[in-house]
Amino acid sequence: MALIGRPNVGKSTLLNHLLGTKLAATTHKPQTTRKNLLGILQPPGGQLLLLDTPGYHQAKGPLNRFMVEQARRAIDDADVIGYLVEARADNAVTPGNERLLKVVEAAGKPVVLLLNKIDRLKDKQGLLLQLQTYSDRLGERMKAAVPISAYRGDGLTEAVVELARALPEGQAFFDDDRLTDASERAVAAEFIREKVMLATKEELPYSAAVTIDAFEDQRPKIVRILATIHVERDSQKPIVIGKQGERVKRIGVAARRDLEFFLDSKVYLELHVRVTTEWSNTPRGLAELGYGEPAAPDLGALAAPDTDVDLSALADLSPEELAGWVDEDSSSDGDPPDPDHAGPK
């Protein structure tokens, strides 16, 4: 199942909240997510594969084209599309969503519309107008619409039930203790890059990338990680390092905190900053820093391990049973400040 939407609509925040832990990088800046990231949700009696995707936008360079291609590939491969749209007080469709709607319409896949950020909407009556607009456009392909707040957790139980209903029956693809198919090295790189984006604010918007040079796993004692932060120009290097190394040290402290929670271990993290000239503008630079052409994950259906299941069983679960894996009142453990509430864009 692909979670798709415009940049900064809350896809990664939603994934983290559903999983109950931090997996995807989240900031208040658009286009934080650069690559598809699979999260494996394990509701009672089933397995739900959720693919977080980069925000769909007009690509103006090689890196942006790679990101948009990731989103398009997810739409093509998914059984169901979870389409996140920012809740509005009117029925207007933004130009960006108009372009994305055409892609979704052409895909012909079942769609569950998730109207996010309802906590920001004062007049909830506007949701009915917005719902009608998207229902008219998507027709029978729209299987359900659920108002949610990915940040606060409102409506997430109903959202998962509707997503599950839209899926075909099938077999589980992963063991019941798996959180993702991404490597720990890949997740570590994303956590560090997130902290770079948060620490540099508008000074270094999208020119940074992170590679993991060494990942020495000595758990339960310690995990030692050596990472490089890549920037594109000489002038950007001191921005990341900061005065007397203060900023890169702060980045390391914040990243280590999230890594220790994720890896359930003490972490030694060493960071280096390197100029990799114009890496985001060349195919070779993109490939070397992990933005090549990865194989798309196989998006499976909701199923109990090794058995077929009746998806309607999820809808019959009591709120108490569902509350064990979706907490309606709390944000994800280890999440940074909510990207949708962290300040002006």
pLDDT in tens, 114-134: 999 999 988 787 788 899 999
- 302, pLDDT greater than 70: no
pLDDT at 205: 64
Average pLDDT rounded to a whole number, residues 32-49:
92
- Pairwise CA distance, residues 171 & 43, whole Å: 14
Ordered by start, the domain boundaries in the chain are 2-178+297-322, 184-288
Cβ atoms of 142 and 114 closer than 8 Å:
no
Q: Measured on CA atoms in the order 116, 118, 121, 127, is the torsion positive or negative?
A: positive
**If pLDDT is split at 50, 70 and 90, which confidence band does 48 have?**
very high
pLDDT at 201: 77
**If pLDDT is split at 50, 70 and 90, which confidence band does 330 have?**
very low
pLDDT at 125: 79
Question: Which of 104-113, 127-136, 211-220 comes out lowest in average pLDDT?
Answer: 127-136
Does the structural domain 2-178+297-322 have CATH classification 3.30.230.10?
no
pLDDT at 62: 93
Does the structural domain 184-288 have CATH classification 3.30.300.20?
yes
Cβ atoms of 4 and 84 closer than 8 Å:
yes
pLDDT at 126: 79
pLDDT at 344: 32
pLDDT in tens, 256-282: 999 999 999 999 999 999 999 999 999
pLDDT at 18: 96
- 65, pLDDT greater than 80: yes
Prediction pTM value:
0.83
**If pLDDT is split at 50, 70 and 90, which confidence band does 322 have?**
very low
**If pLDDT is split at 50, 70 and 90, which confidence band does 293 have?**
low
pLDDT at 87: 93
Of the two residues 106 and 324, the one the predictor is more confident about is: 106
Average pLDDT rounded to a whole number, residues 215-221:
97
